[in-house]
Structure 1
């Protein structure tokens, strides 16, 4: 488990002054889009979309604000607590910053958004929940780093499968279809997809659908039932359960927020 000192989600163009991150704890930064620049020990690191920057304690670092244009990033500052020591995970034993291009951005975004929500809402026991979620996130990142850079052919396969899903996500998508898409066996396609993205094919499709549903609930005039049908869910109660699990709210609650704004 971890003690969390600060969690931030920032969007847009920041001011021109640099911001010191502090050297008394770990800092984990993930760039969702755009780019961010950081300096430490006279060096400059530029992080772009889907890149992680992990800075261990003892290294004074600063973010160069206003240097990356429009962007969105998330930052968590933390330290291990209790029986969780720096020797528990190789990532925590690092002495130098690590910049890492993740191939599982959808999974990491899902986990980070839940952490941000918990930290912002500050419901009962939120600090314990955030610490547990961050532990899961750090372990997920460490596993990906342990496996090392993926072969270019694997990344090409994943991108082709993601593109196929983008084109057909409203319909049922099977491992047979994705196997045919990249000309490999269905089981290999499914195993490769999960190994690289951290998600099963079904989980990835649900995430894509819920992202679209969330947007439609906020910006369209369609009812929850209409959106459920549009996205391929014949059972609206199942749609509600999946949406609640992945977004943290019921579709009706998001739709009500839109109505209130109008």
Structure 2
């Protein structure tokens, strides 16, 4: 089977932060939309059907949908919206082909949120290579949504184990985290711990840890005076070459290239 080729072009990425009297008039959209609700609730009308979107939920709205929206019960909310155009030669993502609106409540919503936040920040910064990097992040979000939509429901206890591990990693991502520590956290074997986390999130614990560290590295490279070696040590890598390899694997460019592009973009914005 040939792999799908998806060419993306961003319309915009937005963050609505507790906007009172927020609303959108009914209109036919000419782009695809992914919505992630961070706080509160949003009431949408999609193709004349009312849809309530709540905290921790993600909705995909296909191009040419008739859409309107407003705060639910007049209360403001927080959400990210990603608007994009899609030129497809061969698509192997079913929901993009079907073009049907749907909602998921992903087991790893915090990771979706972090990716959306990075996308929003990077696109607004107009940084060098940002289109290339952000296309990769959007493709990741699209793929993870497909997985969430298609996977069978995970038993509640497995979901709790994965969430406990996820919360622990998020709190201690700068520290040296051993699989044995995570196994003790949920009182299971190391192999079971790895398997359950990957089943729920689609990543191993070490992959999730690396993604959290690299997202923080992106921020520190551009918005701090730390050098690369210090950032590597600060984030718990303790080996600069390993940090650089991990960064490039996730971000597609080296830390030095990312830092240089970010600093140049900030300087040009200050002029």
Q: Which of 131, 143, 148 is residue 144 of structure 1 equivalent to?
A: 148
User: Conserved in 1, the CA contact under 8 Å of 2:35 and 2:80?
Assistant: yes
The verdict on how the C-alpha distance between 1:52 and 1:225 changes in structure 2, with shifts beyond 3 A counting, is same
Alignment partners' CA distance in 2, 1:58 and 1:72: 22
Which of 21, 43, 49 is the equivalent residue of 1:16? Answer: 21
Q: CA deviation at 1:154?
A: 1.3
| Aligned pair partner of 2:212 in 208, 214, 220 | 208
Q: Give the 3-state SS of the residue equivalent to 1:8 in structure 2.
A: strand
**Secondary structure of residue in 1 paired with 2:112:** helix
Please state how far the C-alpha of 1:3 moved relative to its aligned partner: 5.0
Give the conservation status (yes or no) of the 8 Å contact 1:37–1:68: no
Q: In structure 2, what is the equivalent of residue 228 of structure 1?
A: 232
SS where residue 150 of structure 1 aligns? coil
Q: Are the aligned partners of 1:90 and 1:142 in contact in 2 as well (CA < 8 Å)?
A: yes
Q: TM-score, normalised by structure 1?
A: 0.73
SS of structure 2 residue aligned to 1:171 = coil
SS at match of 2:89: coil
Report the TM-score when normalising by structure 2: 0.71
Please report the RMSD computed on the Cα atoms of aligned residues, expressed in angstroms: 4.1
Q: Deviations over 1:163-189 (max 9, x none)?
A: 332444333223232222212221121
Structure 2 spans left out of the alignment, 5+ residues: 1-5
Task: Give the Cα separation in 1 of the matches to 2:213 and 2:136.
Answer: 27
Q: 5+ unaligned residues in a row in structure 1: which ranges?
A: none
Corresponding residue SS for 2:104: strand
Aligned partner of 2:108 in structure 1 is 104
Instruction: Quote the Cα distance in structure 2 between the aligned partners of 1:114 and 1:215.
Output: 9
Aligned twin of 2:69: 63
Q: Is the 8 A contact 2:35 2:79 kept in 1?
A: no
Q: Distance in 1 between matches of 2:224 and 2:39?
A: 25
Alignment length (residue pairs):
256
Structure-1 separation of matches of 2:224 and 2:64:
49
SS state of the match for residue 82, structure 1? strand
Shift of 1:231: 2.9
- Paired residue secondary structure (2:200): helix
1:214 Cα deviation from its structure 2 partner: 5.3
Aligned match of 1:78: 85
